[in-house]
Structure 1
Amino acid sequence: MHPLRRTSPLRRIVLASAATVTGTVMLLSLKPHTAPSLAAGAPAPSGSGAASASSGSDGSNGSRASTGAKAVTGNSVQTRWGPVQVRVTVTSGRITDVTAVDYPRDNPRDQEINSYALPQLRREVLATQSADIDTVSGASYTSEGYRQSLQSALDSAGL
């Protein structure tokens, strides 16, 4: 008799294993549906004027000099879930604003994660005045891309 005859337990085991592997592969290749894009939660940079041409010594503790804000966009960093790109606004050598220009938002889960991660990352950058920020729990790929793009923007701004 053939080992894979109709009533053989080996046949059932082989078929069940094949069905399990096929189902697992199909689930892993499944992409979630794309919902309509929500309005971005991050505000547009407010001070994107041109930097002033005057170059003097840094006058901290002095009166407010008329130095312009300089907006610099960092490199786009490709993460597992999509590109992340950050724009930083620098005024008088201080980071005054950080905006996520591009970030994963293709599906509702991306939107949910980034709705809490991006404001938290922004607050931390403004508090530390550097790219030395902590990773947001649940948004590790976005946090790392944000950090890398921010560092490239700060390097371009000369900070």
Structure 2
Amino acid sequence: MRRAVLTTTGTSALVVVLLSLKPHQAPGLLDASRRPATTVSPRTSTGAPPGATTATGTFNGDPVDTRYGPVQVAATLVKGKLTAVRVLRAPDENGRDQEIAAFALPRLTQEALGAQSADIDSVSGASYTSQGYMESLQSALDRAGG
């Protein structure tokens, strides 16, 4: 009897641990037709790497419709360096949407500033909002020229 209780407890604990791991992003959240095209530009006369920009200003990204509502951000660059990301629109139709946005958006902004790009990890539990944020940020960066 004691062995059965230990086995059941151990199995239950293992299942809980496995379920708490961050899942891989489900295929199809961003299909290939919606991904921005990547282009390679020639080196500039200043010797900057391809795709580098010295843009300064605030650039609005495209609004991205998600399952729970639109997401739109504005990226601020100073001499080509991402210095701030401001959320212009986020899902807020109900309390749960507001709670997810309040949790996820600051983390996404911190990740983007650290990575200096829109190529960041999604926030677990906010997959749709994360994907919309990344797409909108990428469009803002594309507008800035980098």
TM-score by length of structure 1 reads 0.57
Question: Shift of residue 68 of structure 1?
Answer: 8.4
1 or 2, which has the higher helix percentage?
2
Structural RMSD (CA): 2.0
Paired with 2:131 and 2:144, the residues of 1 have a C-alpha distance of 20
After TM superposition, where is structure 1 displaced by more than 3 Å over at least 4 residues in a row?
A: none
Aligned residue number for residue 123 of structure 1: 110
Counterpart of 1:151 (choices 129, 138, 145) is 138
Counterpart of 1:138 (choices 108, 125, 132) is 125
Letter in 2 for 1:147: M
- Write out per-residue CA displacement over residues 87-137 of structure 1, whole angstroms, 9 at most, x where no aligned residue: 000001100000110000111001111111000000000000001000000
Paired with 1:100 and 1:137, the residues of 2 have a C-alpha distance of 19
- Is it true that 1:84 corresponds to 2:71 in the alignment? yes
Question: Shift of residue 141 of structure 1?
Answer: 0.2
Alignment: residue pair count: 97
Aligned residue number for residue 95 of structure 2: 108
Aligned residue number for residue 73 of structure 1: 60
Q: Relative to 1, partners in 2 of residues 1:72 and 1:145: Cα closer, same or farther, differing over 3 Å?
A: same
Letter in 1 for 2:102: S
Letter in 1 for 2:139: S
Larger Rg: 1
- The residue matched to 1:88 in structure 2 has which SS? strand
Confirm or deny: 8 A CA contact 2:61 2:136 kept in the other structure: yes
Letter in 1 for 2:116: Q
Counterpart of 1:98 (choices 59, 66, 85) is 85
TM-score by length of structure 2 reads 0.62
- Write out per-residue CA displacement over residues 21-66 of structure 1, whole angstroms, 9 at most, x where no aligned residue: xxxxxxxxxxxxxxxxxxxxxxxxxxxxxxxxxxxx59xxxxxxxx
